[in-house]
């Protein structure tokens, strides 16, 4: 009897969680360096039951489009589990510099992660909670960081695993061309690492990323800011 009750409660909990996740999210961003927009990014998240698909297309604009007319398409697809997104396949493709293409395959049953890139094929251990470069951002839509002080996870970009560690600062206010929003700020830790990313999640818009700042020592910061957002429940 207790087992049946537990299964019923789990089923209800899973159904309620699914209802809270939008069926479709369309987000547009400017990719900037020193306030100058170099590229436009369009991301589309689609949920179909307990399956998801994300596509991100980056296209250069202005002078960059003349000198480097490169289109980058990244995709992530997988399942939506009890604790968030479970990526199954990730791809990162460039129209011109195909030698920079990469892909990742996640086998959660065998706990295996396969990376494919210009360097060949490699098999790694798959750790619980591992995300790919796209699913990592939309994981917060499915599993918001409410009440957390920090977040730790492994992230695959198809070529390597990066250890992501963030301090969570809730109730920050941020303004982009989309508007002024309440946000959670995820700050890369430790602060003295050469490569880091700071993320702002829009609290009142399903925790969709509204700003991301990529910083690497010796180079200018790359800033991705939200310009338009459509959410379909």
In a domain, 11, yes or no: no
Write down the pLDDT at residue 65.
87
Give the pLDDT of residue 68: 86
> Is residue 203 helix, strand or coil?
helix
> In CATH, what number is assigned to the domain containing residue 71?
2.50.20
Q: Is residue 160 part of a domain?
A: yes
pLDDT tens track for 95-126: 899 999 999 999 999 999 999 999 999 999 99
Give the span between the Cα atoms of 54 and 133, in whole angstroms: 11
Is residue 7, in this structure, part of any structural domain at all?
Answer: no
Domain count, the chain: 1
Q: What is the mean pLDDT of residues 210-228?
A: 93
Q: Structural domain of residue 211, as residue ranges?
A: 21-232
Q: Judge whether 4 lies within some domain.
A: no
Distances 109 to 13, 106, 128, 129, 193 between C-alpha atoms, Å: 23, 9, 11, 14, 34
CA 135 → CA 54, 122, 141, 181, 196, distances in Å? 8, 21, 10, 22, 18
Q: What is the mean pLDDT of residues 20-40?
A: 96
Least confident piece of the model among 16-30, 32-46, 127-141:
16-30
16 in a structural domain: no
pLDDT of residue 2: 47
Q: Do residues 50 and 33 lie in contact, with contact meaning Cβ atoms separated by under 8 Å?
A: no
């Amino acid at each position: 009897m207790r087992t049946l009750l537990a299964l019923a409660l789990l089923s209800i909990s899973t159904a309620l969680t699914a209802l809270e996740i939008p069926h479709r999210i369309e987000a547009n961003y400017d990719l900037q360096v020193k306030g100058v927009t170099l590229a436009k990014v369009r991301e589309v998240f689609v949920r179909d039951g307990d399956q998801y698909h994300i596509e991100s297309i980056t296209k250069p604009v202005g002078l960059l489009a003349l000198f480097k007319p490169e289109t980058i398409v990244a995709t992530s697809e997988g399942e939506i589990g009890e604790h968030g997104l479970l990526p199954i396949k990730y791809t990162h493709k460039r129209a011109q510099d195909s030698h920079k293409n990469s892909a990742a395959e996640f086998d959660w049953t065998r706990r295996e992660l396969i990376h494919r890139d210009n360097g060949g094929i490699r098999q790694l251990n798959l750790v619980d909670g591992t995300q790919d470069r796209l699913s990592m951002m939309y994981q917060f839509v499915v599993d918001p960081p409410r009440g957390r002080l920090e977040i730790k996870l492994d992230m695959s970009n198809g070529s390597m695993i990066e250890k992501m560690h963030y301090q969570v600062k809730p109730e920050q206010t941020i303004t982009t061309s989309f508007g002024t929003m309440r946000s959670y700020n995820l700050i890369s830790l430790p602060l003295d690492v050469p490569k880091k990313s700071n993320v702002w999640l829009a609290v009142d818009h399903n925790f969709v990323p509204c700003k991301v700042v990529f910083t690497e020592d010796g180079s200018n910061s790359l800033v991705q800011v939200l310009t338009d957002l459509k959410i379909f429940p």
